[in-house]
Amino acid sequence: MKMEQIRQKVQSSAYRFLREDQNLGDKILLLALGGSHAYGMDKDSSDLDIRGVAHNSKEEILLGTDFEQVVDIPTDTTIYSFNKMIQLLSSNNPNTMELLGCRPEHYLYLSDLGKELYENRKMFLSKVCIHTFGGYAGSQLRRLENKAARLVGQAQNEAYILKSIHNAQYDFKNRYYPHNDNDIRLYLDKAVQKGYDSEIFMDVILKHYPLRDWAGMWNEMKAIVNSYNKIGKRNEKAIGHDKLGKHMAHLIRLYMMCIDILEKEEIITYREEEHDLLMSIRNGEYLDDNRQPTTAFYALLNDYEKRFERAKERTRLPDVPDYKRINAFKIYVNECIVTNRDVGHK
């Protein structure tokens, strides 16, 4: 679908909510293509995904409330609140980081403040991406092994879960009350539960630790464990609808984006240089006669994992985002809204 067609479609009645929803309308700061169109991996049959950011209202800012996001399922559109977006970007969330790396023509709308968010995108970059982009891609790609994750043994699946939790723990120190690495130790051992070969065990030694911070960490770890059952069902559905190639291509793309962030300190969403490779994966050229990933795909995966490891060791990115600059920008934008001032960031 050409950009002119996309722009016309977004002006249709199906997207009326963008103009009429109380949290959107003239509050929208940024509107961009998402999904396959943003990555340069779209086909004639590809759905149109729209992503964006809208500033919080004066009342929300002063009362400390937040609409967080507006989701329109029929059009596959998600618009995040500015305050929620800042939180997600600070956590190097892959689905939101890519919003700041689109091609210029893929931005359907940018207000003055939206442009400033885009221009200040580097303040969010940090080594945290290793454990968001890289961690997510690694755990998901490895689950494609042994008949596209359907025949992965219980013990191997448990190891993937533990790896995902370890990746999440990297950012705990930035968001929860400090503790030593050895205070919360997770490891694999022979299972005590029936039907399990091995399972994750934990040793926890926390003294005088805030309950709410522990509850937050516990809930995040619990969510990861629960998510693996859901991911397994999604993979089975993808296999059943012959969409495994698309799944594989998007996961390789995550490695590409993370390597760019680590090496070039840039968010590059549209994969122009790797377009042919990604489309060949998506179109099933790396699936065998049984529609399973080939050895060539795993060789490609191993190559990207090695490049990722090298980039991880050599990157000059800081350990964490520039929180001082991020907070100053957040205050500035919210002050603009509260005082009805929409000017350039000084």
Any idea which of 156-160, 218-222, 240-244, 311-315 has the lowest mean pLDDT? 240-244
pLDDT at residue 305 is higher than 80: yes
What mean pLDDT, rounded, does the chain reach? 88
CA distance 11 to 15: 6
pLDDT of residue 229: 61
CA distance 179 to 281: 43
**Six-digit token pair at 341?**
């001032």
Q: What percent of the chain has pLDDT over 90?
A: 67
Instruction: Give per-residue burial for 188-208: e unless 16+ CB within 10 Å, then b.
Output: eeebeeeeeebbbeeeeeeee
Any idea which of 51-55, 155-159, 206-210, 216-220 has the lowest mean pLDDT? 155-159
Mean local confidence (pLDDT), 37-55: 94
Mean local confidence (pLDDT), 80-88: 96
Is the model more confident about 160 or about 4? 4
pLDDT at residue 57 is higher than 90: yes
Single out the residue of 59, 60, 54, 44 nearest to residue 20, CA to CA: 54
The per-residue pLDDT for range 233-274, each reduced to its tens digit, is 545 554 444 577 888 898 899 999 999 999 999 999 999 999
Any idea which of 57-61, 66-70, 107-111, 285-289 has the lowest mean pLDDT? 285-289
pLDDT of residue 246: 85
Mean local confidence (pLDDT), 75-93: 96
Mean local confidence (pLDDT), 283-301: 88
Residues 6+ apart with CB under 8 A from 234: none
pLDDT of residue 45: 83
CA 235, 241, 244, 246 dihedral sign is: negative
End-to-end, the C-alpha distance of the chain in Å comes to: 39
Mean local confidence (pLDDT), 221-230: 76
Predicted TM-score (pTM) of the model is 0.76
pLDDT of residue 161: 82
pLDDT of residue 139: 56
Instruction: Give per-residue burial for 297-330: e unless 16+ CB within 10 Å, then b.
Output: beebbeebbebbeebbeebebeeebbeeebeebb
Number of CB atoms found within 10 A of residue 215's CB: 11
Mapping DSSP onto H, E and C, the string for 149-170 reads CCCCCHHHHHHHHHHHHHHHHC
CA distance 160 to 306: 19
The per-residue pLDDT for range 93-121, each reduced to its tens digit, is 999 999 999 999 999 999 999 999 999 99
* 202 three-state secondary structure: strand
pLDDT of residue 344: 44
* 323 three-state secondary structure: helix
pLDDT at residue 227 is higher than 90: no
pLDDT of residue 242: 52
Q: What percent of the chain has pLDDT over 70?
A: 89
Strands (E), the chain: 28-34, 49-54, 69-72, 77-81, 107-110, 184-190, 198-204
Measured CA to CA in angstroms, residue 177 lies from 173, 206, 212, 216, 286 at distances of 7, 11, 10, 11, 45
pLDDT at residue 145 is higher than 90: no
pLDDT at residue 225 is higher than 90: no
CA distance 70 to 20: 12
pLDDT of residue 173: 76
Mean local confidence (pLDDT), 26-46: 94
